[in-house]
Structure 1
């Protein structure tokens, strides 16, 4: 299976396992800048050179050799499951994508037909966000639990699933940090690697490629989750809450409750 979703700087200074909707655009740009002294012009996900990515066949041997011998510092980044699934909804379901179209072609029309969601239309995007989100959450659960009406999408499949492939196939993380404490966590990475160009995190912009392409969240996070929604969240993301120390009981608390135990993560996701 190899190391899907894994990026590595050309200099092999650092290895990163991408987790969608967890600051991956900003992290990728930092990695690119650390080698080249400039940011990639455009969405870093579209970069086809200047960085090793598992999606490129020409990069796979270099990544495999590095990861299996643990030559470089390896890390990933996680996010509160409540805010992550909301971000996926507003970006991928309600938003217009970089190509000017809806995400995955017929996905949104299918959701409108089978689950009765609404997404609104530009420029106002007026619709009942809470009702539609809860119906989307049912769809996300169906894709993850029963793989119907489609396979689960990478943007709402569990973080632990993404992170586990790296471990199962022979990798080991040196650091896992939270998007909610991004500068602190990313600084630990930078303190442990040698880069061609210095990175001052306080001066790095946040690269949110989905911003401005759809509706803004109109309510506090906790308003989107009733008892049923929280039950579904625990069914889908139980390991994410437990391993990465997020507060399941309070959707309004985006901050972690404790420290991530790397040994626990490797033990529980390495089976």
Structure 2
């Protein structure tokens, strides 16, 4: 299986397991900058050189050797599951992608037909009932995760623990897992632990958000989107994420973690 979703700097100074919707664009750009002294011109997910990625065949033996030899610090980043699934909805379902089209072609029309999801359009200023449509999307997301119907779960709403576990199961070990909500503090710890060719000033790093400005803005506080049924579905999908990464299930508006992540616990529970 190897190490899907893993990026490594060309200098092999650090190894990152990508978790979608957890600041991965910003982290990738920081890694790129730490080697080249500049940011990639465009979406870092489109970069075909300047950064090793498991999806690139010539990078695979280098990544595999570095991971298995633990020759560079390995890390990843997590996010509150409530905020992450909302971000997935507004970016991938309600938003227009950077190519000017809807995500995954016929996905949104399929959601409209099967689940009654309405996400408006640029022509009407994305005027739709956000709460009602999000809750219907949540039923769809649960169906993909639990029954893999009407499609396989998308990487943007499948559980963080699932992404993170593949790295462990195949022989990797994380040195750090930090919170999107404490991004600068966590990323600084990573950078302080590596021997990168170029020093990066985190205070000067812009936030790279590929979806910014291409869709509707969230109109309500987080808890308004989650009634009792929605929270039941969220627990069904993400209970391991809440427990392992110390997020507050009881208060959707509290995006901050309630404690520190126990790396030994993560490796023990996700490595089997």
In structure 1, the partner of 2:153 is: 152
Deviations 1:77-127 (A, max 9, x none): 000000000000000001111111100011000000000010011051000
The reply to whether residue 162 of structure 1 matches residue 163 of structure 2 is yes
Deviation at 1:195, TM superposition (A): 1.1
In 1, distance between residues paired with 2:207 and 2:119? 26
Mapping 1:1-271, distance limit 5 Å:
1-123=1-123, 124-271=125-272
For residues 21-45 of structure 1, give each alpha carbon's deviation from its aligned partner in whole angstroms, at most 9, with x where no partner exists: 0000000000000000000000000
In 2, the alpha carbon distance for the partners of 1:48 and 1:101 equals: 22
CA distance in 1, matches of 2:222, 2:10: 39
CA distance in 1, matches of 2:98, 2:171: 35
What stretches of structure 1 move > 4 A for 4+ residues in a row? none
TM-score normalised per structure 1: 0.99
2 CA distance for matches of 1:245 and 1:131? 28
TM-score relative to the length of structure 2 = 0.99
Find the aligned partners of 2:150 and 2:90 in 1 and give their Cα distance: 20
CA distance in 1, matches of 2:40, 2:29: 7
CA distance in 2, matches of 1:98, 1:214: 11
Distance across 2 between alignment mates of 1:207 and 1:105: 24
Please state whether the residue corresponding to 2:60 is helix, strand or coil. Answer: helix
